[in-house]
């Protein structure tokens, strides 16, 4: 049948989504009297003042650069490592999609708000799985790890998206999410060509291992920095309360 049919089927699936979206009838939006549209700089200032949002966007940047380059890596594995061609590449993507679907179902059942520490842990777990996949001795082990990669990636992305949207103020949520998406998609746009060049230089397995290692390093450094920041906050609070107590006693 050729490869063109796959593009037609994909286009048909996208048309189905567009039809469902066009059938939605949301209530009309009425802007409150006197309300002004916040500038992008207001969103940037809010991100800078809100550690939960700032750290989440930083982690998302790491994922965009080092973790969302699977199409490039899987192409190299299918062509050069396992020599499975188009069929193998399709299989690899299908296995990743199975993991992503499982991650979406798990995320939909999540009731409690995801904490920032759990987000760091999930990014670190994804990094470990990527490193293990780069060492996979057979196509079956590699495929099983791809399912875990798809699962971990979607769990992290849904958690990060939810954390940012639930933390941001409603008036600034649009500006904050625009920065979030810019970092996510911009990191992916930079990471894909860079990983492709790296694969040409050192091969698919070392490139994938380096991506996983750098992603783990991002999670580790972010976790250490957040722990240090939390200790400083506690010390400042204790100093502030102690100073107030001395003033009260002296009076």
| First-to-final CA distance of the chain | 88
pLDDT of the residue at 248: 44
| Interatomic CA distance for residues 80 and 83, integer angstroms | 5
* Residue 61 scores a pLDDT above 90: yes
Among residues 160, 205, 200, which one has the least CA distance to residue 64? 160
| Interatomic CA distance for residues 19 and 41, integer angstroms | 36
Grouping H, G, I as helix, E, B as strand and the rest as coil, residue 251 is: coil
pLDDT digits (tens, 9 = 90+) for 72-99: 999 999 998 998 888 899 899 999 999 9
Question: What would be the CATH architecture of the domain defined by 42-229?
Answer: Up-down Bundle (1.20)
Among residues 96, 97, 75, which one has the least CA distance to residue 87? 75
| Interatomic CA distance for residues 225 and 219, integer angstroms | 10
pLDDT digits (tens, 9 = 90+) for 126-136: 999 999 999 99
* Residue 231 scores a pLDDT above 80: no
Alpha helices in 67-203 (DSSP H): 70-76, 85-108, 116-134, 139-167, 173-202
pLDDT of the residue at 7: 83
* Residue 247 scores a pLDDT above 90: no
Residue tagged 């957040």 (tokens): 226
| Interatomic CA distance for residues 217 and 18, integer angstroms | 39
pTM, whole model, 2 decimals?
Answer: 0.81
Q: Using alpha carbons, list the distances in angstroms from residue 74 to 85, 94, 99, 121.
A: 10, 11, 15, 25
Domain ranges of the chain: 42-229
pLDDT digits (tens, 9 = 90+) for 8-42: 888 888 898 899 888 888 787 666 555 566 677 88
pLDDT of the residue at 187: 92
| Interatomic CA distance for residues 210 and 233, integer angstroms | 34
- The phi, psi pair for 26, rounded to 5°, reads -70, 155
Residue percentage of the chain with pLDDT more than 90: 51
Whole-number mean pLDDT of the chain? 85
């Amino acid at each position: 049948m050729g490869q063109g049919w796959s593009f037609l089927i994909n286009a048909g699936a996208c048309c189905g989504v567009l039809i469902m979206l066009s059938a939605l009838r949301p209530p009309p939006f009425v802007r409150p009297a006197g309300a002004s549209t916040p500038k992008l700089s207001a969103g940037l200032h809010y991100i800078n003042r809100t550690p939960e949002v700032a750290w989440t966007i930083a982690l998302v940047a790491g994922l965009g650069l080092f973790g969302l380059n699977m199409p490039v890596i899987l192409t190299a594995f299918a062509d050069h490592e396992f020599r499975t061609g188009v069929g193998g590449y399709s299989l690899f993507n299908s296995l990743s999609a199975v993991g992503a679907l499982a991650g979406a179902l798990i995320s939909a059942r999540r009731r409690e708000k995801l904490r920032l520490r759990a987000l760091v842990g999930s990014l670190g777990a994804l990094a470990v799985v990527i490193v293990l996949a780069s060492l996979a001795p057979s196509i079956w082990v590699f495929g099983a790890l791809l399912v875990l990669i798809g699962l971990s990636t979607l769990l992290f992305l849904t958690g990060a998206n939810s954390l940012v949207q639930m933390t941001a103020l409603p008036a600034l949520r649009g500006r904050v999410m625009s920065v979030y998406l810019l970092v996510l998609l911009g990191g992916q746009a930079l990471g894909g060509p860079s990983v492709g060049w790296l694969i040409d230089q050192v091969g698919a397995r070392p490139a994938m291992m380096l991506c996983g290692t750098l992603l783990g390093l991002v999670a580790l450094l972010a976790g250490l920095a957040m722990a240090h920041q939390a200790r400083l906050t506690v010390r400042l609070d204790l100093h502030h309360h102690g100073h107030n107590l001395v003033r009260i006693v002296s009076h």
